Amino acid sequence: MLDAAEAIMLEDGYAAVTSRRVEAETGLKVHYHFGTIDDLFVAVVNRRGEVNLALMADALASTEPLRAWWRLASDPRGSRLLVEITAAANHRPALQSEVASFAREVRRMQVQALERMLSEYGIDADEFPPALVATAMQGLAFAMTYDQASGFDTAQDEVASGMERFLDRLEAQRSGD
């Protein structure tokens, strides 16, 4: 049921996630298993949030943390879903706090990892505070994948390859010493 809701979001947007549509695709009764449509959305957010938290934790603990983080954050599917969920949260107060708490937790993990690792990457933490680097990573990844998904065609291949080269250099520097 949660899978179906996500699939509908990706295909036709969050507004298409209606009780009738979900019931038609799953054969299950939404209001029986969840009390409310809001509850369904909350469940989707919670599951996806937990998964993302785990993926981000793995990425930050991998041998090339920044690269793994970048790969995770620039996954087009994830970005599309994030857009839909945040857009839905914008008009569903019940979702707002859920989304916010996951966003906070992810950012906390990232900042904590950066505090430990920035110097290894040869980045001065005074000049580029962890919070700034984290927000930049997420924002850049989001902007790139979203522009791509929306067909804005803003030279995203150049952005992607430029970022790959930058990551090559950073990861080389880190493993270098």
Q: Tell whether residue 72 is a contact of a copy of itself (CB under 8 A).
A: no
Q: Tell whether residue 158 is a contact of a copy of itself (CB under 8 A).
A: yes
Q: Tell whether residue 132 is a contact of a copy of itself (CB under 8 A).
A: yes
Q: Tell whether residue 91 is a contact of DNA (CB under 7 A).
A: no
Q: Which stretch binds a copy of itself (CB under 8 A): 40-48, 56-64, 96-104, 112-120?
A: 96-104
Residue span 20-59 as binding mask against a copy of itself, x where in contact by CB under 8 A, dash where not: ----------------------------------------
Contacts 24+ apart (CB under 8 A), 137-145: 137/66, 137/69, 137/70, 137/73, 137/110, 138/73, 138/107, 138/110, 141/70, 141/73, 141/74, 141/79, 142/73, 142/79, 142/82, 144/74, 145/74, 145/75, 145/76, 145/78, 145/79, 145/80
Q: Tell whether residue 86 is a contact of a copy of itself (CB under 8 A).
A: yes
